[in-house]
Amino acid sequence: MIKDIKRYFPILNQEVNGYPLVYLDSAATSQKPIQVIEAMKKYYEFDNSNVHRGVHTLGNRATDAYEGAREKVRNFINAKSMKEIIFTRGTTTSLNTVASGYGRQNLKEGDEIVISIMEHHANLIPWQQLAKEKGAILNYIEPEADGTLSLEKVRATITPNTKIVSIAMASNVMGTINPIKEITKIAHENGAIMVVDAAQGAPHLKIDVQDLDCDFLAFSGHKMCGPTGIGVLYGKQTLLENMEPVEFGGEMIDFVGLHDSTWKELPWKFEGGTPIIASAVGLGAAIDFLNEIGLENIEAHEHKLAAYALDQLETIDGLTIYGPRDANKRCGLVTFNLDDVHPHDVATVLDMNGIAIRAGHHCAQPLMKWLKVTATARASFYMYNDEADIDALVTGLRSAKEYFNDVF
């Protein structure tokens, strides 16, 4: 199945530094199938126009394509209405919109915000800055030793003073899949809203926002086979209706006077300026592609790869793995360090062999501090990876270890 899928990704059919490319950095950004590339090419060749405003044929075609993509997103996460789907630049913009819109309107001094130590900076700094501005208190849930979140600690941290809880569906460092539905229930029992960072969830796990009952959910197109520059903010309709926009002008206005203005209805109220039309079309094509393969199949494939990677990596002396050892508790990524070799050096040697991984703090510096490291190496998998890619990684890591042992 995977070999058949790989042929849809033209970028993977190349050599890097004289070796066949092994791309193990999909948690940073996924590669794009030909279906997405062709959908965007077709849009620019035949339909390109601004949306909603024109009465000419191209304008109508572009509008249909853009709003059609919104309906695909709605169906993809099982939202009740297209009014609940806001197109943004990405997860970071979506989370900032909630912090700046909902947070500023609803938080007061002494209120509490709860996040976890494993959050990406995009789901940490907006809340940190909001807490400073409002005199609110930012509380953290500390992970267990294996990198998972315990519901006991969640219950102990979320209190009746908590107004906002914001948690990643899956950690971009440890791969941990968090119990979002259960955390949402605890948040609601305490009168708080639940925000979900699904950047590492949407590409790999089937999402049903009605089943989760979360209040807001954010994700990015580029991590799920779509183009860069497009993301989604889902919000419950009543919450979005009561939120003020954070960007003004262009698409989102209804009536503009000299001293006051009114806004369009949802979802356009939050989409100031010319929308990200072509990228929305690309995201729609990516969703079609993912639906055709099936999120359940992708998840099962990644659990299998993660289990294989954990088993193989554990055979390398001096290699430390971070996060859950149970592959079913993590999405398709493994973060590790080699003793006495800096992660950037590991990544550089692997690149010499055509293997692309990520090295650094992964935009999660508080988690790095908690792990007692400054940086880690991360290999992340997607539907187009297979066991042979992991074998190449393990061989490359053994070579890197030998290289640095010889040098030093």
Could you give the residue numbers annotated as active site? 363
CA distance linking residue 370 with residue 351, whole number of Å:
28
CA distances from 366 to 93, 115, 173, 369, 380 (A): 21, 12, 12, 5, 21
Helix-helix angle 34-42:277-293, to 10 degrees: 150
Cα angle 238, 242, 246 (rounded to 5 degrees) comes to 125
Handedness of CA 98, 365, 151, 28 (dihedral sign): positive
Phi then psi for 287, rounded to 5 degrees?
-65, -40
Token pair 């969830």 is found at: 201
Token pair 């060749």 is found at: 45
H or E element, residue 344: helix 343-352
CA distance linking residue 284 with residue 188, whole number of Å:
32
Contact status, residue 263 vs residue 101, Cβ threshold 8 Å: no
CA distance linking residue 327 with residue 306, whole number of Å:
6
DSSP string, 150-165: PHHHHHHH--TTEEEE
Q: How many CB atoms lie within 10 A of CB 321?
A: 18
CA distance linking residue 296 with residue 102, whole number of Å:
33
